[in-house]
Amino acid sequence: MILSDLIDFETLRVIWWGLLGVLLIGFALTDGFDMGVGALLPFVAKTDVERRVVINTVGPVWEGNQVWFILGGGAIFAAWPPLYAVSFSGFYLAMFVILAALIVRPVAFKYRSKREDPTWRERWDWALFAGGAVPATLFGVAVGNVLLGVPFHLTQDLMPMYDGSMLGKFVGLLRPFALLAGVVSLSMLLMHGAAWLSVKTEGAVKDRARAIGVTAGMVAAGGYALAGLWLAVGIDGYAFTAEAVTDGPSNPLLSEVMRGGSWLSAYAERPWIAVAPLMGFAGIALAVMGLKAGREVTTLLASKLGILGVISSVGLTMFPFILPSTVDPDSSLTVWDASSSHLTLFIMLVCAVIFMPLILMYTAWVYRVLWGKVTEDEVTGKSDTLY
């Protein structure tokens, strides 16, 4: 018996759908507060010393946090090749903008302290702001477009095709619902960044972060509720018109899909998935209350719970669809027809079982070593301070 036969193809597909969600959520929970802190930097820190305090709360950990982003991209490439091809070609300019912002961020970290000129440092502070705010917003816009559907179709040889220019495709992503999703994403990560600063800082910086975090959390909750209402009454969902073959070949054109109805019908079919939006609202509410009350670790944990619930609700609502097509619903990518082969998914799963615990243990060790507040005395009194 071949080892890969120990787990059937259908189960492997669901496992890798879940693992992709875990990697993306892991990125949001870790690098999410990095982006939130960067976006908050010009507003929570008024002096150079305060800004150095804020920067040093994330400076030692942001590179490790981006491992989750790399793993997520690698998982899409290896486990879901059609998804990688369709999304990276259709969202090419948006991805370029995100990557440019993420590249600017480490440059700003390294170059800000090279000169003591206030103008020089202020420019790099705004670069850090862009490196946090731009990806946080565009990731949400991307999620909004996934729920709306993307205008692509597959040729008979499974080549993805888009109409229009690259710029036109980018502008076409900026639809009202997608922009709302971007607002939810940005405000949620601002809240998360504020929760992190409440743990890592003190004094005026902490107070400003708490105040902004409360507002951001309320915006996130309101935007999330509005998005749910919009999905219920104004956006078509997708469904199979014939029974899906869950262990068949990875060819989306073999499926029969229709556009219509509501995405939220999934909650009638699988009522248990309502736990995800409940976690989203509960986590955000607890984080807002924690920020108001001045609680620290529990507020950060509540913020993580809210992010977990919000992102999970998207995947669970859409399952088994991954990337719907507005041009040709039959070209839509689903869990059942857009994966790599059975053997590839099995080998990758073995690797994940070996390496994921190592990554988690290393990450936990790093945070344990670096735990504690960053103070003004620390950043001004130590010559080995990084930033």
Helix (H, G, I), strand (E, B) or coil at 103: helix
Let me know if residue 221 belongs to a domain: yes
Separation between Cα atoms, residue 79 and residue 338, nearest integer Å = 9
- Enter the pTM of the model: 0.93
Let me know if residue 160 belongs to a domain: yes
Question: Who's near 158: CB < 8 A, 6+ residues apart?
Answer: 82, 251, 252, 253
Which residues form the domain of 247?
Answer: 16-381
Let me know if residue 11 belongs to a domain: no
Q: What radius of gyration, in Å, describes the C-alpha atoms of the chain?
A: 22
Tens digit of pLDDT per residue, the chain (387 long)? 466 567 889 999 999 999 999 999 999 999 899 999 999 999 999 999 999 999 999 988 888 888 888 888 888 999 999 999 888 887 888 889 999 999 999 899 888 888 888 899 999 999 999 999 999 999 999 999 999 999 888 888 888 888 766 666 777 788 999 999 999 999 999 999 999 999 999 999 999 999 999 999 999 999 999 999 999 988 999 999 888 888 888 888 888 898 888 899 999 999 999 999 999 999 999 999 999 999 999 999 999 999 999 999 999 999 999 999 999 999 999 999 999 999 999 999 999 999 889 988 988 898 888 888 888 888 887 655 567
Domain total in the chain: 1
Helix (H, G, I), strand (E, B) or coil at 62: helix
Let me know if residue 212 belongs to a domain: yes
pLDDT digits (tens, 9 = 90+) for 166-213: 666 777 788 999 999 999 999 999 999 999 999 999 999 999 999 999
Considering only CA atoms, which of 159, 163, 173 is closest in space to residue 82?
159
Separation between Cα atoms, residue 377 and residue 89, nearest integer Å = 48
Let me know if residue 119 belongs to a domain: yes
Which H or E run contains 152?
strand 152-154
Let me know if residue 132 belongs to a domain: yes
Let me know if residue 96 belongs to a domain: yes
Q: Identify residue 108 by its one-letter amino acid code.
A: A
Considering only CA atoms, which of 319, 270, 267 is closest in space to residue 13?
319
Let me know if residue 319 belongs to a domain: yes
Triad 317, 319, 321: Cα angle to 5°: 115
pLDDT digits (tens, 9 = 90+) for 209-267: 999 999 999 999 999 999 999 999 889 999 998 888 888 888 888 888 988 888 999 99
Q: Let me know if 99 is exposed, middle or buried by CB neighbors in 10 A (0-12, 13-18, 19+).
A: exposed
Q: How many CB atoms are located within 10 Å of the residue 187 CB?
A: 26
